[in-house]
């Protein structure tokens, strides 16, 4: 474990947050520039942490399609991992608490990340609408349906928001199974442990529209089952 590695991660994040906030304040925000910063940030975080990343199943990504990306969640390092693993423009649905972090939260908003407030139904619905707008523009939207990081590695129950989103937008869900990020930064801490081996398995996309408007529970069950099996767990 290295305190210096954790401080470097903060510094790397600051290097994309500061110009993004300045751009937002001066009305010069560019999605393309945000994409480039996110790509650099994710690669640099993994490089500095000496992460060995292996991505399998890229052939399962439908080219040129908007997608709802769903994965298990074990670590904050899932975030740069997913940005490195999934091609195309990607934005994240994140809990409201992250948007309260000074500078970081403002940069997330400016870059088009979506804030989810599960404590207020009308705000949660507004977040889903914002996500649907991104999908309609061709952006891929990533959400961790467990809602929080698993401290045991066992896949938790899935919350319904992302499935409502996929059904309303009529897009496919791209399931991911992530292992190893918890060795880089455990769920119950913020220290970086360099040298981890991280694996991302991209599973075949599931067409949400084939489930119909009343198929949310069946869709959630099927998506959870394929991720659980890929992790070697019972659905």
More confident residue, 56 or 133: 56
Q: What average pLDDT does this structure show over 142-168?
A: 93
The whole-model pTM stands at: 0.93
Q: What average pLDDT does this structure show over 48-58?
A: 97
Report pLDDT for 124: 63
Q: Which CATH superfamily is domain 3-230 in?
A: Glycerol-3-phosphate (1)-acyltransferase (3.40.1130.10)
Q: What average pLDDT does this structure show over 106-121?
A: 82
More confident residue, 79 or 124: 79
Q: Is the pLDDT of residue 1 over 60?
A: no
Report pLDDT for 123: 62
Report pLDDT for 233: 96
Report pLDDT for 2: 63
What value does the mean pLDDT of the chain take? 91
Q: pLDDT tens-digit profile of 22-31?
A: 999 999 989 9
Q: What average pLDDT does this structure show over 170-186?
A: 97
More confident residue, 223 or 188: 223
Report pLDDT for 120: 60
Report pLDDT for 95: 83
The fraction of the chain above a pLDDT of 90, given in percent, is: 73
Kindly report the three-state secondary structure assignment for every residue of the chain.
CEHHHHHHHHHHHHHHHHHHHHHHHCCCCCHHHHHHHHHHHHHHHHHHCCCEEEEECHHHCCCCCCEEEEECCCCCCHHHHHHHHCCCCEEEEEEHHHHHCCCHHHHHHHHCCEEECCCCHHHHHHHHHHHHHHHHCCCEEEECCCCCCCCCCCCCCCCCHHHHHHHHHCCEEEEEEEECHHHHCCCCCCCECCCCEEEEEECCCEEHHHHCCCCHHHHHHHHHHHHHHHCCCCC
Q: How confident is the model at residue 180 (pLDDT cuts 50, 70, 90)?
A: very high
Report pLDDT for 80: 97
Where in the chain are the domains? Answer: 3-230
Report pLDDT for 161: 87
């Amino acid at each position: 474990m290295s305190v210096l590695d954790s401080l470097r991660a903060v510094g790397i994040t600051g290097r994309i947050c500061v110009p993004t906030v300045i751009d937002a304040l001066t009305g010069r925000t560019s999605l393309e520039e945000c994409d480039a910063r996110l790509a650099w940030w994710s690669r640099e975080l993994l490089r500095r942490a000496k992460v060995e990343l292996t991505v399998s199943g890229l052939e399962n990504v439908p080219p040129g399609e908007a997608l709802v990306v769903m994965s298990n969640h074990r670590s904050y390092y899932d975030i740069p991992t997913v940005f490195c693993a999934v091609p195309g423009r990607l934005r994240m649905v994140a809990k409201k608490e992250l948007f309260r972090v000074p500078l970081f939260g403002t940069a997330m908003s400016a870059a088009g990340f979506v804030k989810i407030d599960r404590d207020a139904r009308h705000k949660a619905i507004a977040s889903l609408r914002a996500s649907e707008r991104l999908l309609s523009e061709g952006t891929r939207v990533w959400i961790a349906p467990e809602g929080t990081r698993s401290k045991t590695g066992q896949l938790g129950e899935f919350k319904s928001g992302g499935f409502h989103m996929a059904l309303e937008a009529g897009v496919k869900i791209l399931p991911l199974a992530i292992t190893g990020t918890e060795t880089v930064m455990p769920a119950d801490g913020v220290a970086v442990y360099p040298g981890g081996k991280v694996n991302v398995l991209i599973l075949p996309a599931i067409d949400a529209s084939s489930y119909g408007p009343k198929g949310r529970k069946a869709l959630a069950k099927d998506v959870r089952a394929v991720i659980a099996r890929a992790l070697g767990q019972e659905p």
